[in-house]
Amino acid sequence: MKNDSFGKKKMQVEVNSEIGELEGVILHTPGPEVENMTPENAQRALYSDILNLSVAQEEYAELVGVLEKTTKTFQVKDLLTDALSDEGVKRELIEAICESENVNEYKRYLLSLSEYDLASQLIEGVPLEKSSLTDYLSQERYALRPLHNFFFTRDASVSISNHVLINKMATPVRARESLIMEAIFNHSSMISGDTINPMRRRHVPDSLYSEGGDLLIASEQILLFGMGSRTSSQGIDFVIEHIKHRGESKHIIIQELPKFPESFIHLDMVFTLLDVDKCMTYEPVILKRNNLKTVHINIVNGKVDIWEEDNIIDSLRRLGIPIEPVFCGDNKDEWVQEREQWHSGANFLTLAPGKIIGYKRNVSTINALNKAGFEVIDAEEIISGKKNINDYKRCVVTMEGSELSRGGGGCRCMTMPVRRKPVNWKA
């Protein structure tokens, strides 16, 4: 399945579904920035606990190993280093970051760094110089804090057709991720996509924010959004206005999410698409009666119609996608469902139609997939070459994730697709 036809050519963004065969994906292997965390600052970094970096890296290596067998992979640091080789881009990004984080006194130092060292420090953190009384007395260790969450590459930017939405993140601690991803897509020699950035507007309200885990591309005509603690109605309205401005016609289905607990932060933590007719669903949020709204917006020739739906699945069926749910936790015991959802049991990355990857720790969910016709394959069997996903109509590749899942995300969260092949919906 791996496609090397792009070679050294710049890969152009093109993503029109969640399930088309993956041709290119951006990753960020967790590094020192994950370890640059203490119990005191973990909550500020959006963590409830501190990850063991060596274990997390071992687990992440399985994800990378599977993806390198099936698609073209890019690492954030490589892309950023490449973009920073242009002195003008380097200066522009440094100025944007220093202004955003109020550290203009570090511009000269950052400009003195090589592109590789600068890329490293922008991700891993820039130590605070104790050159003033204020800094000497400060409890901070970093002038530019480490990007502890950057291995969740899905959130800062998202591919929509041949465009890239640069997200205004819900929390300031992640704002630098968006600036970095914008620089990559605008200036890297390896990948390219026209960027859309709400932060480039003259007036951006604090109430406007969005993250990539809340946007699923059901098809070229249908977008799914989660609306909750990480994506606001104003963030979705920004995308709607862009679609209207371009004269496009689309259906947008919005699922309201619970604000608590933290495992519900994104739509892809309760719903992901697996095949032309299969989806992974956390039933209590998506299908059971609750006070969470499902809203359908139809945009045609700049005109917007809005109404409420019963749920995402019924709405997709009416739009011609005959989707059937597989249930996170196997729809047996509510405690099992809750536990596996907490550990990203609904969060799968689709490599190609019917071929997915997720955490093996969610045993009941994997069993549910197996009963639905997905052959269970261990990640090491793909990495070693013993098995090939092309030999299966449907399969779920299972990887270790006991440490990574403690960071609050799964395989979809840790991957930012750049390009997917078109889907044969009638296959």
Q: What is the Cα 81 distance to its own chain's centre?
A: 21
Would you state the structure tokens that stand for residue 113, as one six-digit string? Answer: 């760094």
Would you state the structure tokens that stand for residue 201, as one six-digit string? Answer: 């507007």
Q: What is the DSSP code string of 381-424?
A: HHHTTS--GGG-SSEEEEE--TTGGGGT--TTTT-EEEEEPPP-
Contact 163, 133 (CB under 8 A): no
Which residue, chain included where needed, has tokens 């630098």? Answer: 176
Contact 86, 184 (CB under 8 A): no
pLDDT given for residue 166 in this prediction = 97
Is 1.20.210.10 the CATH classification of the domain at 11-420? Answer: no
pLDDT of the chain along its 427 residues, tens only?
Answer: 565 555 568 999 999 999 999 999 999 999 999 887 655 554 544 455 678 899 999 999 999 999 999 999 999 999 999 999 999 999 999 999 999 999 999 999 999 999 999 999 999 999 988 878 777 777 788 999 999 999 999 999 999 999 999 999 999 889 999 999 999 999 999 999 999 999 988 888 999 999 999 999 999 999 999 999 999 999 999 999 999 998 999 999 999 999 887 789 999 999 999 999 999 999 999 998 889 999 999 999 889 999 999 999 999 999 999 999 999 999 778 999 999 999 999 999 999 999 999 999 999 999 999 999 999 999 999 999 999 999 999 999 999 999 998 888 999 999 999 999 999 988 6
For residues 64 and 360, what is the distance between their CA atoms, to the nearest angstrom? 16
Q: What is the DSSP code string of 11-30?
A: EEPBB--SSSPEEEEEE---
For residues 279 and 324, what is the distance between their CA atoms, to the nearest angstrom? 6
Contact 282, 326 (CB under 8 A): no
For residues 199 and 182, what is the distance between their CA atoms, to the nearest angstrom? 11
Contact 118, 379 (CB under 8 A): no
pLDDT given for residue 244 in this prediction = 93
Which residue, chain included where needed, has tokens 């009963």? Answer: 371
Domain boundaries, the chain: 11-420
pLDDT given for residue 186 in this prediction = 97
pLDDT given for residue 238 in this prediction = 96
Residues 6+ apart with CB under 8 A from 140: 128
- DSSP code of 10? P
With residues binned 3-state (H G I as helix, E B as strand, rest as coil), the percentages for the chain, rounded to 5, are 35, 25, 40
Nearest to 343 by CA among 400, 405, 396, 404: 405
pLDDT given for residue 1 in this prediction = 58
For residues 23 and 176, what is the distance between their CA atoms, to the nearest angstrom? 27
What's the pTM? 0.94
pLDDT given for residue 49 in this prediction = 63
Would you state the structure tokens that stand for residue 418, as one six-digit string? Answer: 């750049």
Contact 222, 253 (CB under 8 A): yes
Contact 69, 383 (CB under 8 A): yes
Alpha helices in 256-309 (DSSP H): 283-286
Q: How far apart are the first and last CA of the chain?
A: 17
pLDDT given for residue 2 in this prediction = 60
pLDDT given for residue 42 in this prediction = 47
Contact 383, 423 (CB under 8 A): no
For residues 158 and 199, what is the distance between their CA atoms, to the nearest angstrom? 15
Kindly list the distances between the CA atom of residue 240 and the CA atoms of 119, 233, 376, in Å, as whole numbers in the listed order. 33, 10, 39
Phi, psi dihedral angles at 285 (to 5 degrees): -90, -40
